[in-house]
Amino acid sequence: MAQVTIYLPEELESKIKKTAASLDLSLSKFITTVLEQKIRDEWSEESRRLAGAWKDFPTLEEIRETQAEDVRREAF
């Protein structure tokens, strides 16, 4: 397994340590998890389950019905 040295501002380091401790994770495991989430190249299962969840999503015509009339633009 590779080792990487990074430099963090003290405030960020403190937040990371507190968060990792609150999740009962080592600092290394917490950072690895966050990085894996950020570079994931596929949709999560939670996101995939959302597909089609908005059964009452308005059509484009319904959205445009509520828009006010646009003002006349000045010529250049």
Task: Give all domains of the chain, ordered by start, each with its CATH number.
Answer: 1-41 (1.10.1220)
Residue with tokens 């996101």: 47
- Per residue in 18-71, pLDDT (tens digit) is 999 999 999 999 999 999 988 988 888 888 888 888 778 788 888 888 878 778
d(CA 17, CA 31): 10
Stretch (H or E) spanning 11? helix 10-22
Res 72 pLDDT > 90: no
SS3 39: coil
In this predicted structure, what is the pLDDT of residue 56?
80
Backbone angles phi, psi at 40, to 5 degrees: -60, 135
- Choose between 47 and 10: higher pLDDT: 10
Stretch (H or E) spanning 15? helix 10-22
Q: What is the DSSP letter of 34?
A: H
In this predicted structure, what is the pLDDT of residue 30?
96
